Copies of this chain bind each other. A is one copy, B any other.
Amino acid sequence: MVEHNDNVPLTDSDASGIHPLAMLFRARSIALVGASQAEDSVGGRPIKYLRKYGFEGQIYPVSPRYDSIGGLQCYASVRDIPGSVDLALLAVSAARIPDVLEDCAVKGVPTVLIFSSGFAELGDEGRDLQARLVREARQHGVRICGPNSMGTMNLRSGLTATFSAVLERDHKPGPIALISQSGMYGAYILAQATALDLGLGLFATTGNEADIELAELLDYVVHDPETRAVLAYVEQLRDGDAFVGSAEAALEQNRPIVIIKVGKSDVGARTAQSHTGAIVGSHEAYEAVFRQYGLIAVDTVDEMLDIAQLVDYGVFPKGKRVGIISLSGGAAVMIADACVASGLEVPTLPVEVQASLKERVPFAGVANPIDATGQLFNDPDFYKDFLGALVDQPDIDTLVLFFGQMIGYVKNLGTTVVSESVNAARESGKPFAMVAMPGDGRAAQMLKEGGIPHFTDPERTVRAIAALANFVERRETLLDRLRRTRDLDLSPIARTDVDTELGAKNFLAEHGLRVAEERLARSPEDAARHADAVGYPVVLKVNSPDIAHKTEVDAIKLGLSNKAEVGNAFEEIMRAVKDRRPDAEVRGILVQEMIPAGIELILGVKRDPVFGPMILCGLGGIHAEVLRDYAVRRAPVDQDTAAEMLSDLRGYALLEGTRGKGPVDIESVIEAIVNLSQIAVRAREWIEELDINPLIALRDEQGCVVADALIECAPLSEV
């Protein structure tokens, strides 16, 4: 085996000490199977591009049809190659792939990258072929990227293992990685980055993800020492746990992942028994996970590349406080607006500083934002003082400058402003961003060399700064939360009988939730006796595995205050059920305490096909369902996350007390959420959906009580 770069990260390494994915970016010898003399074909372009980008390792064309390609000796089979092969690129028809893969296995090639299509994307037959491929590769210890991948690149070393024509243009190397589930869209992002003079480093398109998938690639690149941020284009995740793992690694490595997830509009009808099931769709799950694990989710490539550009320039705001200096009052207000809207702060300058600036330019705005006014055209010297006053403030983390079209259009003034800005940025060590059209002259060059990124739109600039400032601010918090959830006991709980309300509540009570006091009655007399024991007033309701929504069939009676009422209620419920749901199995009638007044909440669990159990909380009644006011996270959650879920609710003020009513016991609700999230994980194998509706949060410090619960289990065959 050839020598490898010292920079190859060794985390997650296999026995050989080399990360199994390293070859996609750091191979020293590459075989191209299906190589072609036609430069513009899939079998021709990789050689052309490897040479164009200065790849310094060995290139071995493989094809029985040629003796040589472009001066390189050509081999009939991978087996014939004299040296070792780190990476094989497969550009032959799908039918030939199994044989070629065997050749690679025999040759000891650790990693193959399959360009060819004709696999799972074609349907059942292709899926079978792909599955066989993976089985064989695993037997031989060969890793596969693809099939149907457009390839990978390391633009820093010139390893361009791709046939994408995007490489017809020149792209510069840089510290940003890009992992894309779409080859074409990935190439398009690269083309746009290049148009902005932004350099990418590692780039991979995952294709069908038969073996190596997005999460594993993310994990690899966040550990790459030369990578400072990762861009990800995602259509659908296959392994949510692995994805979450790579997101945690990104937090630990301090490398933001900026992600675009397509496929937001949920198509197809939703059918679900529980309220939670009806509320939480797959898009909500993705959004919740992105937020919970610190990913920066964006809608557009513009936003993605704005953030990447900040990172490329080393702009990593330490905090959320922004200083603004602007040639235009309107732009100053616009930037300040955008800061407030994005959660950034614009601290007011101390009065004495304001006074001294005002002395210099009486009609300037000096509070922060600073409006330098057109006076700058007459007297450019004061810019240095104004800028100095701003950077000197210890409570300002980042500077945003607005100079519109001035820098590019008013020559001497432009270079003066830029050189003062560059000096101030250097001396203060604080990150700067310039909103301007600096043109293509000297001022633009000075900005670039001086390490100040420039943007044209104030709002977009601020949003990008806010995204990074938020990442920086939340990183430690999120890591702490993750550490705390690791301390929870997450050992599996065996499946148990939870198909009635009583069963569900007993299960929840066993695992630490407080449920309403209740007893099961088989007759009116039973019911009356239980009511005496529970204490009046009581609630009666049917206990049946077949009736999810009791109100709809009149199978619940509230506020019963004596034996007679209880007896009648029992009979009425039995009659109502017999009338309306004659098919329903009735397992007695529950006699339950009336819980004192409080605020009703709904807590829920839904098993997401990608991310596993998700937990929901919202206010009860109309809030979660009609007003769509709820919060969702991936289970498990810690106290801090649970508290954040509650404060995310628009109706949070109701829990804190309004209109003369005191607060409810919020702490107990937080504990209930944490507890339920833990149960959700422990029973993830068999609980599909779960509703606690309502959970009644009592006033002051009286706790909270599960008043009703419903659990939907996976079909027995699944477990």
Q: Interface of A with B (CB < 8 Å)?
A: 117, 121-122, 165-166, 168-169, 181-185, 187-188, 190-192, 195, 233, 235, 260, 262-265, 299-302, 327-331, 333-334, 336-338, 340-341, 363, 374, 404-406, 408-410, 437, 456-460, 551-552, 622, 626-629, 650-651, 653-654, 658-660
Give Cα A458–Cα B410 distance, bound, in whole angstroms. Answer: 35
Alpha-carbon distance between A459 and B301 when the two chains are bound, in angstroms: 9
* Nearest CB in chain B to that of A332: its residue: B262
Q: Which residue on B lies nearest to A339, using beta carbons?
A: B265
Q: Which of B117, B328, B341, B629 meets A627, CB within 8 Å?
A: B629
CB distance from A561 to the nearest CB of B (A): 20
In the complex the two chains form, is A165's CB within 8 Å of B409's CB? yes
Q: A191-B404, A302-B460, A627-B651 are in contact. Are A334 and B262 (CB under 8 A)?
A: yes
Q: How far is the CB of A577 from chain B (nearest CB, A)?
A: 18
With the chains together, A627 CA to B338 CA distance in Å? 23
A667 to chain B, nearest CB (A): 21
**Given pairs A184-B404, A190-B405, A300-B459, 15 additional interface contacts (CB within 8 A):** A122-B363, A165-B406, A169-B409, A184-B328, A185-B331, A188-B328, A188-B404, A188-B405, A192-B437, A263-B337, A265-B337, A265-B340, A265-B341, A299-B338, A551-B659
A651 touching B629 by the CB < 8 A rule?
no
Contact of A299 among B374, B459, B658, B659 (CB under 8 A): B459
Task: Name the B residues within 8 Å of A456 (CB-CB).
Answer: 192, 195, 301-302
| Identity of the chain B residue whose Cβ is nearest the Cβ of A439 in the assembled complex | B169
- B333 and A165 contact, CB distance less than 8 A: no
Contact of A331 among B182, B338, B405 (CB under 8 A): B182
Which residues of B sit under 8 angstroms from A340, Cβ to Cβ?
Answer: 264-265
Which B residue sits closest to A42, measured CB to CB?
A: B377
Q: How far is the CA of A123 from the CA of B408 in the complex (A)?
A: 32
Question: Nearest CB to that of A188 among chain B residues?
Answer: B404
A456 to B188, CA, bound (A): 9
B409–A166 CB distance below 8 A: yes
23 contacts between A and B (CB under 8 A): A121-B363, A165-B410, A169-B409, A182-B328, A184-B327, A185-B334, A192-B456, A233-B330, A235-B330, A264-B341, A299-B459, A300-B460, A302-B456, A551-B659, A622-B651, A622-B653, A622-B658, A622-B659, A626-B653, A627-B629, A627-B650, A627-B651, A628-B650
Interface centre among A188, A192, A340, A622 (most CB of B within 10 A): A188
Question: Which residues on B sit within 8 Å (CB–CB) of A185?
Answer: 328, 330-331, 334, 404
Q: Which residue of B lies closest to A436 (CB)?
A: B188
- Inter-chain contacts of A405 with B (CB < 8 A): 165-166, 187-188, 190-191
- Identify A654's interface contact among B363, B410, B552, B622, CB under 8 A: B622
**CB-based nearest B residue for A552:** B660
Q: Which B residue's beta carbon lies closest to that of A187?
A: B405
Question: A627 vs B190: C-alpha distance in the bound complex, in angstroms?
Answer: 43
Complexed CA–CA distance, A609 and B279 (Å): 42
**Least distance between A268 CB and chain B CB atoms (Å):** 13
A183 to B327, CA, bound (A): 11
Q: Is the CB of A654 within 8 A of B626?
A: yes
Query: What residues of chain B lie closer than 8 Å to A169, measured between beta carbons?
Result: 409
Taking a contact as CB atoms under 8 Å apart, the answer to whether A409 and B168 are in contact is yes
- Inside 8 A of A409's CB, which chain B residues have their CB? 165-166, 168-169, 191
Closest to A190 in B: B405
Give the distance in Å from the alpha carbon of A653 to the alpha carbon of B624 in the complex.
13
Least Cβ–Cβ distance between A187 and chain B, in angstroms: 6
In the complex, chain B residues whose CB is within 8 Å of the CB of A629: 627
Chain B nearest Cβ from A274, distance in angstroms: 17
Partner of A301, one of B168, B188, B299, B457: B457
Q: Which residue of B lies closest to A118 (CB)?
A: B363
With CB as the reference atom, state the residue of chain B lying closest to A122.
B363
Q: Which of A183, A184, A327 has the most CB of B within 10 A?
A: A184
Contact yes or no, A182 B627, CB < 8 A: no
A82: shortest Cβ distance to chain B, in Å?
A: 34
Instruction: Give the top 7 A-B pairs by smallest Cβ distance, nearest first.
Output: A182-B330, A188-B404, A191-B405, A184-B328, A265-B340, A300-B459, A262-B334
Q: Report if A330-B262 is in contact (Cβ < 8 Å); known contacts: A165-B409, A300-B460, A628-B650.
A: yes
Give A329 to B235 CA distance when docked, in angstroms: 9
**Distance between A261 CB and nearest chain B CB, rounded to angstroms:** 9
Closest chain B residue to A168, Cβ basis: B409
Determine the chain B residues whose CB is within 8 A of the CB of A233 once the complex forms. 330
Q: Given A302-B457, A460-B300, do A660 and B331 touch, yes or no (CB 8 Å)?
A: no
Q: Is A184 a contact of B262 with CB atoms below 8 Å? A: no
Residues on B with beta carbons closer than 8 Å to the beta carbon of A336: 265
Asked whether A117 lies within 8 Å of B626 as measured between CB atoms, the reply is: no
Q: Is the CB of A330 within 8 A of B181?
A: yes
Smallest Cβ distance from A412 to chain B, in angstroms?
Answer: 10
Q: Which residue of chain B has the shortest Cβ distance to A414 in the bound complex?
A: B165
* B-side contacts of A122, CB under 8 Å: 363
A184 touches B331 (CB 8 A): yes
**In the complex, A653→B626 CA distance in Å?**
7
Residues from chain B with a CB closer than 8 A to the CB of A195 are: 437, 456
Which residues from B are CB-within-8-Å of A299? Answer: 338, 459
State the CA gap A616–B241 with chains docked (Å).
Answer: 47
- Chain B residues with Cβ below 8 Å from A181 are 330
CB of A198 to closest CB in B, whole Å: 14
